[in-house]
Chains A and B, each alone.
Chain A
Amino acid sequence: MSEMHLCRLLYRSEAAIPGSRQAVEAVVDGIVRSSSKSNATAGITGALVFASGTFIQALEGSARSVEATFERICCDLRHRQFQLLAVTTASSRVFSDWAMVRSRPGVDLARLCPASVSEPQLQQASAAEAIRIMRIALLREGAAGARPLASLPAYSMPC
């Protein structure tokens, strides 16, 4: 699993998809499907949380592929209020593949983030910080996960 020059990043954004709840869900499903495919090809692992209109995504992989994937995400107008929370280098992966987690209806993840990400944390965001933030999100929402969470080490590690 150990790879040199790994890059890990974390961002949050708000979905900007018009239409009913079902329509939004359908678009998000499409995004998840195409991301799964392209991330697998590019050797990207990570996790995407979608809750109450908020995306939180962690990506890790080679610097080149993370940069390319991130640039593609930045060209997407289906989300707004884009915030890059952390960019770090890492020597090994914490996510074994790429997974999608959804929140239960009524759970407001937007309140969890960025409230849980305070300014000083952002300034000195490290890999550990990124994982911690993801972990908070995943633990709170994990029960409703659409994919097996066993693939997420963040979930199995003690918080």
Chain B
Amino acid sequence: MIAMLAFQPGMPSAFEPFLMAISLIAVIMGITLGMLKAIRQRGRAARFQAGLIIGTGVVILHYMGQASYLVRGHVTFDPVFVVTSTLISLGLYGTAIVAAAERNRRLRRWGGPLLLLAIVVLHVGGMASLELEFDPRVELPSHSLPPESVAPIVGAVSFSLVVLALLGLRFSVAAAVRLRRDRQRLSELANIALEGLAICDDGVIVSANESLAKLSGFDRAELVGRSISALLPTFNGDDLAGLEEADATLVGANDIALPVRVLRNEVMLGRKRQIVFAFRDQRERLRTEARIRDLAFFDPLSGLPNRAHFSDMLARRAGSFRSEGRAFVLLLVNLDRFKGVNETLGHGVGDEVLRRAGSRLRACIREGGIAGRLGGDEFALLLTCDAAGAETAAADVVELLARPFLIDGCAIQVTASVGVALAPDDGVEPEELTRAAELARSRSKEEGGNTFRFFEPEMDEHARQRQLLEAELRHALGREQFEVHYQPQVDPRTGDFQGAEALVRWNHPDRGMVGPDRFIPLAEEIGLIGAIGEWVLQTACTEAASWPNGLSVAVNLSPRQLRDRNLVATVLAILEVTGLDAHRLELEITESAIIQDDEVTYGNMRELQAAGIRVSMDDFGTGYSSLSYLRRFPFDKLKIDRSFVQSIPEDPDSVAIVQAVATLGRKLGMTVRIEGVETGAQRFFAASECCDQIQGYLISRPVPADAIRTMFAGATATRLTA
């Protein structure tokens, strides 16, 4: 049109304003629609179509513009030129738009010139097709516009449109390039992220990183196009607002399910709002958590609940009893002789025994029962059952733990002591029940183990008494409540005094005189025996030092005293202080004291003997009476227990035993003493069997110190006067 405006036809001319306005509207629409299409749609075909739309707008502008051209004459067109130039220019428009949006910069540069060429081709073709013929009869209509006023408007509008179109396209292309670059950077960043990332458009993955590929087992390419709900079937993204996280299960390749933590976030990518899913692998964390939980609640050796966890469950059961009223049972289990396993076979074997004991206990629990390891060789069972069920379970525990453990080719025999407490009969509170079960278990232990006992109120009383006795015993020494009594020993043939055995008594302010059998085991257990034993030794030696020369004193040593490394020093110091000659002291040792083949014990015995003190074996015949002890240590004296003497001389078996032991002692060069002699016949028997000493009620019961002193003084006086 610009060319047409400049066209000087050599005759008066003008423009029809209506058609011209339409042609301008057409070109504006054509360019607008074409550019919108070029910007919105991708792909060369779409851009080519956009170019065609723009071209069509321009073609309409052109030919309608020409149609609005009025001259005083006739205007005709050559159709060949019109069609040819229109087709060529449309092709050029399309190519120009395609070129302008090309990624390659060199191609992109061709956009402008091609567009210009399209315009030129259209115009040259259009002008060339125009034929004018002057006819003065034709008048220009009155409303027509002169070319001078149309020219600048049309020129400016057309030029601006073309420029704007090109600029718009360039901006759009630049935005697309920036978007692409952003995506590229994001994807590079995403690939170095540890978390799996997926960018989704409408619930479909459009991009995923390497970590997600690794996590899911799918390739990145396989992930693209997959719907997010296929990866996270249990996950409802709508539940997640903003930056919140949620746990979900990721279903990866081969339907492998993984625990993940999902973070969902909306981001702007270019100008597009897209949803990014981040996946954090939870396997390691869950494993660590499970391990921490295990360590906190379970015993690593047996895999059973530990003390804390078991106590919690016991408390919970007590709580549910208060609401539901269902009876339950607590069993406390302790392995007998387990310490020996650890000591002789090592802790490795000991641990294996504990581990297997734990799994055997598991075999003893019925539905709803719980086994726990409270520590060391202490186990517990919590069962929901009645007394009959508890009895079955306790019997099962005793049975299974009594079976041997075969470890490294070695059959290890351990047994169990079980205490049973029933809720609510024996209490409901955990402390109450535990105490009851402990008391019952102690009773099982006292009865030799490998058995079970139910709690009985009497046990409570017994324990209370024992506790009281223990408290009083701890103070007895300080309050000087102990006394030493003496039972004389004589030669059965002559009746001469040879000495006396020192026997400790507890002169209790309320209970009266308490015998050693009632408090010595307790003193042993609570560690008081050393102090009491030392006091007895001191007292007896002091006393014996005042007796006529030649009379000796016999003092009992407890197993614990014998294992004391300071025993010899203590004894020698006492002899020194009291001035008693070592030959006048005799120390009596029970078989149970030397049954543990202990080096310290034998060392003490040898040193005492070397110092001139006599060492005798007490109560021979009542324990294991292993003759190997007699070979291992040269005792000075053998004491035959009173239980054999009682039925002498009527019972031929007892007679035979005493005769044999007496002979044995003599042959081994030991002095033989018979205890518990109560009749003349027994004394006669002792004399005839060449026993060296007798002791018993026939001579005298144990008497206080002043009484024995009087007894000895009288005998010496009699002998002196005789």
A residues contacting B by CB (< 8 A) are 7, 9, 63, 66-67, 70-71, 74-77, 80, 82, 84, 87, 89
B364 and A71 within 8 A (CB): no
B406 and A67 within 8 A (CB): yes
A63 and B356 within 8 A (CB): no
- Cβ-closest chain B residue relative to A75: B363
Q: Which residues of A contact B360 (CB under 8 A)?
A: 74-75
- Cβ-closest chain A residue relative to B402: A82
B146 at the interface (CB under 8 A from A): no
Partner of B403, one of A63, A82, A89: A82
Distance, CA A84 to CA B408, complexed state (A)? 15
Indicate with 1 or 0, residue by residue over B436-475, a CB within 8 angstroms of chain A CB atoms. 0000000000000000000000000000000000000000
B409 at the interface (CB under 8 A from A): yes
The smallest beta-carbon distance between B426 and chain A, in angstroms, is 26
Q: Which residues of B contact A75 (CB under 8 A)?
A: 359-360, 363, 400
- Cβ-closest chain A residue relative to B413: A84
Known contacts A75-B400, A77-B396; is-contact A70 B359 (Cβ 8 Å): no
Q: Which residues of A contact B408 (CB under 8 A)?
A: 63
B356 and A77 within 8 A (CB): no
Partner of B411, one of A63, A77, A80, A84: A84
A84 and B359 within 8 A (CB): no
Distance, CA A77 to CA B317, complexed state (A)? 27
B399 and A77 within 8 A (CB): yes
Known contacts A9-B406, A67-B406; is-contact A74 B411 (Cβ 8 Å): no
B83 at the interface (CB under 8 A from A): no
A67 and B359 within 8 A (CB): no
B407 at the interface (CB under 8 A from A): yes
Interface SS of chain A: helix, strand, loop or mixed?
mixed
Distance, CA A76 to CA B399, complexed state (A)? 10
B404 at the interface (CB under 8 A from A): yes
Name the interface residues of B325-384: CB closer than 8 Å to any CB of A: 356, 359-360, 363-364
Partner of B404, one of A7, A74, A80: A74
B residues contacting A by CB (< 8 A) are 356, 359-360, 363-364, 396, 399-400, 402-409, 411
- Cβ-closest chain B residue relative to A89: B409
Distance, CA A77 to CA B400, complexed state (A)? 8
Distance, CA A9 to CA B410, complexed state (A)? 11
Determine which residue in A9, A74, A76, A87 has the highest number of CB atoms from chain B within 10 A of its CB, and name it: A74
Distance, CA A75 to CA B405, complexed state (A)? 11
- Cβ-closest chain A residue relative to B404: A84
B363 and A87 within 8 A (CB): no
- Chosen A-B contacts, 10 in total, with CB atoms closer than 8 Å, are A67-B407, A71-B356, A74-B404, A75-B359, A75-B360, A77-B364, A77-B399, A80-B399, A82-B399, A87-B406
Partner of A7, one of B363, B402, B403, B409: B409
A66 and B406 within 8 A (CB): yes
Partner of A87, one of B359, B364, B403, B411: B411
Instruction: Give the number of residue pairs across the A-B interface with Cβ within 8 Å.
Output: 39
The smallest beta-carbon distance between B369 and chain A, in angstroms, is 14
Distance, CA A106 to CA B363, complexed state (A)? 33
Distance, CA A82 to CA B403, complexed state (A)? 7
Partner of A74, one of B364, B396, B403, B409: B403
Determine which residue in A9, A66, A67, A76 has the highest number of CB atoms from chain B within 10 A of its CB, and name it: A67
Known contacts A71-B356, A82-B403, A84-B404; is-contact A77 B363 (Cβ 8 Å): yes
Distance, CA A155 to CA B332, complexed state (A)? 48
- Cβ-closest chain B residue relative to A81: B399
Distance, CA A140 to CA B585, complexed state (A)? 67
Q: Which residues of A contact B409 (CB under 8 A)?
A: 7, 63, 87, 89
Q: A75-B363, A84-B411 are in contact. List 4 more A-B contacts (CB 8 A).
A: A66-B406, A77-B363, A77-B396, A84-B403
- Cβ-closest chain B residue relative to A69: B406
Q: Which residues of A contact B399 (CB under 8 A)?
A: 77, 80, 82
The smallest beta-carbon distance between A68 and chain B, in angstroms, is 9
Distance, CA A7 to CA B409, complexed state (A)? 8
The smallest beta-carbon distance between A91 and chain B, in angstroms, is 14
Distance, CA A75 to CA B409, complexed state (A)? 18
Q: Which residues of A contact B364 (CB under 8 A)?
A: 77
- Cβ-closest chain B residue relative to A70: B406
Distance, CA A29 to CA B414, complexed state (A)? 31
Q: Which residues of A contact B406 (CB under 8 A)?
A: 9, 66-67, 70-71, 84, 87
The smallest beta-carbon distance between B722 and chain A, in angstroms, is 60
Distance, CA A66 to CA B402, complexed state (A)? 19
The smallest beta-carbon distance between A72 and chain B, in angstroms, is 10
Distance, CA A131 to CA B408, complexed state (A)? 22
Q: Which residues of B contact A87 (CB under 8 A)?
A: 406, 409, 411
- Cβ-closest chain A residue relative to B356: A71
The smallest beta-carbon distance between A114 and chain B, in angstroms, is 16
Distance, CA A27 to CA B409, complexed state (A)? 30
The smallest beta-carbon distance between B422 and chain A, in angstroms, is 22
Distance, CA A80 to CA B400, complexed state (A)? 9
Q: Which residues of B contact A7 (CB under 8 A)?
A: 409
Distance, CA A71 to CA B355, complexed state (A)? 11
Q: Which residues of B contact A80 (CB under 8 A)?
A: 399
The smallest beta-carbon distance between A28 and chain B, in angstroms, is 19
Q: Which residues of B contact A84 (CB under 8 A)?
A: 403-404, 406, 411
